[in-house]
């Protein structure tokens, strides 16, 4: 609509056309109010029945809630109206009618359970607090991209249908590719590393990853968005610096651009940008601290992965973002490089916010021979990955990088309890549509 004015931009004295959804109709007899809602907010339309054309009154007041109307009229200041202005209509058009029975109440007066909300996401996203999550997601992703560009990274897009998984493993979704078995990719890991030996040197990708996770949890999706970074000529410590810069930039962008959205989510007073200089705790120190809390029935031993309980105990101790570094080599994947001079320690790191893993990364094994050994130690056949290992024979520089779950980042920025809140159409073990 060429001449459409947003609800919140209607200014007293103007004659405008607004368009949106019928949020509410309050019929008080001689006078009736229709509240029209669009992406910016709401505007009150006043029908003084004696002074208004009967047909207009009928069109405006006989529609069901959530029908789509366009209303033309003059804008007047009105202190008692929700936004301080109201419209006196001269024309009302019904653009799309809504059924009287709605599967979900977009005005939020009747609360809906998450499955109902996800089944009817279109209606759910008419609520300002739900819209706010996805406005913030967009701001967050833009900040991530802008920051990577400032750091001289090139955005890449790698294939999502692949012949082999990143790490072999059971988490893969098989698909049929012209009669051959293929998989949905679980990570761009190997592809982004291949770009390190190319002239691009420093790359990032924001794209889907697919994981056939065994369990439904509040922090796992079967299709997630991964923010990946990889750079030549840096080590694990420098990769952590970039990680910190990206995470903090996302918070800063939200603080700077999302005042209304934070208010809609009730976070206006409490939202804080974290300080840089996230603590870097070695795995050894981390398990000691966890054991010292006494929170676990069986204390952790060297080589144990951190259970959810362990992550909780440590998260409660530290309180904010922190890295766990120097993981035992045996529990990190083959492509992570060992510490020089100590094969038992790896350069792998995780970023945690307090109880949740946000990032895994590390310096990569760039030496061909050691890489092949790593494959074998992990029980993988290097031949299957020849497209990848081959390039390590033609000048692959030292490099490091990481992967950050976009939904987990959004979850932690906004304090969402369930990762499904951070995706429009989540994929989990039960949910394949919409």
Q: Residue numbers of the site for ligand ATP (CB under 6 A)?
A: 211, 213, 220-221, 224, 226, 357-360, 403-405, 407-408
Q: Residue 45: what are its φ and ψ, rounded to 5°? A: -115, 125
Query: Of Mg ion, ligand ATP, none, which one does residue 236 interact with (CB within 5 to 8 Å by kind)?
Result: none
238 CB contacts (<8 Å, ≥6 apart)?
231, 400
Name the residue nearer to ligand ATP (CB basis): 207 or 403. Answer: 403
Q: Rounded to the nearest whole angstrom, what is the least distance from the CB of residue 292 to Mg ion in the complex?
A: 24
Question: Of all residues in this chain, which one has the CB nearest to ligand ATP in the complex?
Answer: 405
Name the residue nearer to ligand ATP (CB basis): 81 or 240. Answer: 240
* Distance from C-alpha of 400 to C-alpha of 402, rounded to nearest angstrom: 7
Count residues near Mg ion (CB under 5 A). 1
Stretch binding Mg ion (CB under 5 A), from 223-231, 304-312, 336-344, 352-360: 352-360
Q: What residues between 197 and 256 interact with Mg ion by CB under 5 A?
A: none
What secondary structure, in 3-state letters, does 289-335 show?
A: HHHHHCCCCCCCCCCCCCCHHHHHHHHHHHCCCEEEECCEHHHCCCC
Q: Which two tokens stand for residue 25?
A: 């109709």
Secondary structure of residue 104 in the 3-state scheme: coil
Query: Of Mg ion, ligand ATP, none, which one does residue 158 interact with (CB within 5 to 8 Å by kind)?
Result: none
Q: Rounded to the nearest whole angstrom, what is the least distance from the CB of residue 197 to ligand ATP in the complex?
A: 22
* Residues belonging to the active site: 211, 213, 219-220, 357, 360, 408
Name the residue nearer to ligand ATP (CB basis): 197 or 426. Answer: 426
Query: Of ligand ATP, Mg ion, none, which one does residue 78 interact with (CB within 5 to 8 Å by kind)?
Result: none
* Distance from C-alpha of 413 to C-alpha of 252, rounded to nearest angstrom: 11
Query: Of ligand ATP, Mg ion, none, which one does residue 224 interact with (CB within 5 to 8 Å by kind)?
Result: ligand ATP
Q: Which two tokens stand for residue 350?
A: 């995780």
Name the residue nearer to Mg ion (CB basis): 35 or 352. Answer: 352
Q: Rounded to the nearest whole angstrom, what is the least distance from the CB of residue 357 to Mg ion in the complex?
A: 6
Q: Rounded to the nearest whole angstrom, what is the least distance from the CB of residue 366 to ligand ATP in the complex?
A: 20
Query: Of Mg ion, ligand ATP, none, which one does residue 153 interact with (CB within 5 to 8 Å by kind)?
Result: none
Within 10 angstroms of residue 34's Cβ, the number of other Cβ atoms is 24
Q: Rounded to the nearest whole angstrom, what is the least distance from the CB of residue 426 to Mg ion in the complex?
A: 20
Q: Rounded to the nearest whole angstrom, what is the least distance from the CB of residue 145 to Mg ion in the complex?
A: 23
Would you give the DSSP letter of residue 94? E
* Distance from C-alpha of 181 to C-alpha of 175, rounded to nearest angstrom: 6
The answer to whether 166 contacts Mg ion (rule: CB under 5 A) is: no
Name the residue nearer to Mg ion (CB basis): 147 or 360. Answer: 360
Q: Is 399 exposed, middle or buried (0-12, 13-18, 19+ CB in 10 A)?
A: buried
Query: Of Mg ion, ligand ATP, none, which one does residue 420 interact with (CB within 5 to 8 Å by kind)?
Result: none
Q: Which two tokens stand for residue 106?
A: 């977009």
Is the sign of the CA dihedral 377, 349, 337, 300 positive or negative? negative
Q: What residues between 360 and 389 interact with Mg ion by CB under 5 A?
A: 360
Q: Rounded to the nearest whole angstrom, what is the least distance from the CB of residue 166 to ligand ATP in the complex?
A: 8
405 CB contacts (<8 Å, ≥6 apart)?
224, 225, 226, 227, 358, 359
Token look-up 């000529």 returns: 233
Name the residue nearer to Mg ion (CB basis): 251 or 349. Answer: 349
Name the residue nearer to ligand ATP (CB basis): 61 or 239. Answer: 239
Query: Of Mg ion, ligand ATP, none, which one does residue 89 interact with (CB within 5 to 8 Å by kind)?
Result: none
Secondary structure of residue 170 in the 3-state scheme: coil
- For residue 83, CA distances in Å to 125, 135, 266 come to 21, 22, 19
The residue ranges that bind Mg ion (CB under 5 A) are 360
């Amino acid at each position: 609509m060429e001449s459409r004015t947003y609800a919140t931009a209607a200014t007293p004295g103007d004659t405008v056309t607004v368009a949106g959804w019928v949020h509410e109709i309050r019929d008080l007899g001689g006078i009736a109010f229709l509240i029209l809602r669009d992406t910016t907010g709401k505007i009150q339309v006043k029908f003084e029945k004696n002074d208004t054309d009967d047909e207009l009154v009928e069109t405006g007041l006989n529609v069901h809630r959530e029908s789509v109307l366009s209303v033309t009229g003059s804008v007047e200041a009105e202190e008692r109206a929700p936004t301080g202005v109201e419209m006196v209509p001269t024309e009302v058009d019904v653009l799309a009618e809504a059924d009287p029975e709605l599967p979900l109440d977009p005005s939020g007066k009747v609360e809906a359970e998450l499955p109902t909300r996800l089944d009817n996401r279109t209606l759910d996203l008419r609520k300002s607090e739900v819209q706010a999550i996805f406005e913030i997601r967009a701001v967050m992703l833009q900040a991530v991209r802008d920051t990577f560009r400032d750091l001289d990274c090139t955005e890449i897009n790698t294939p999502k249908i692949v012949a082999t998984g990143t790490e072999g493993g059971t988490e893969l979704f098989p698909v049929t590719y012209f009669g051959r078995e293929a998989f949905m990719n679980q990570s761009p890991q190997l592809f982004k590393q291949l770009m390190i030996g190319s002239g691009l040197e420093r790359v990032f990708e924001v794209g889907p990853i697919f994981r056939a996770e065994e369990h439904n949890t509040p922090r796992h999706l079967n299709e997630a968005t991964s923010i990946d970074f990889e750079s030549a000529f840096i080590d694990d410590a420098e990769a952590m610096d970039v990680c910190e810069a990206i995470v903090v930039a996302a918070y800063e962008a939200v603080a700077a651009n999302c005042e209304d959205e934070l208010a809609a989510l009730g976070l206006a007073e409490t939202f804080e940008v974290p300080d840089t200089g996230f603590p870097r705790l070695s795995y050894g120190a981390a398990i000691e601290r966890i054991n010292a809390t006494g929170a676990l029935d069986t204390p952790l031993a060297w080589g144990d992965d951190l259970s959810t309980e362990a992550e909780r105990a440590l998260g409660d101790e530290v309180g904010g973002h922190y890295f766990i570094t120097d993981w035992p080599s045996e529990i990190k994947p083959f492509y992570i490089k060992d510490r020089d001079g100590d094969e038992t320690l790896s350069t792998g790191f995780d970023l945690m916010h307090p109880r949740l893993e946000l990032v895994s990364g590390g310096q990569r094994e760039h030496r061909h021979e050691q890489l092949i050994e790593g494959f074998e130690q992990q029980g993988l056949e290097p031949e299957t990955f020849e497209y990848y290992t081959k390039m390590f024979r033609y000048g692959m520089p030292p490099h490091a990088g990481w992967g950050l779950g976009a939904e987990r980042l959004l979850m932690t920025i906004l304090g969402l309890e369930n990762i499904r809140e951070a995706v429009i159409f989540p994929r989990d073990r039960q949910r394949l549509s919409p």
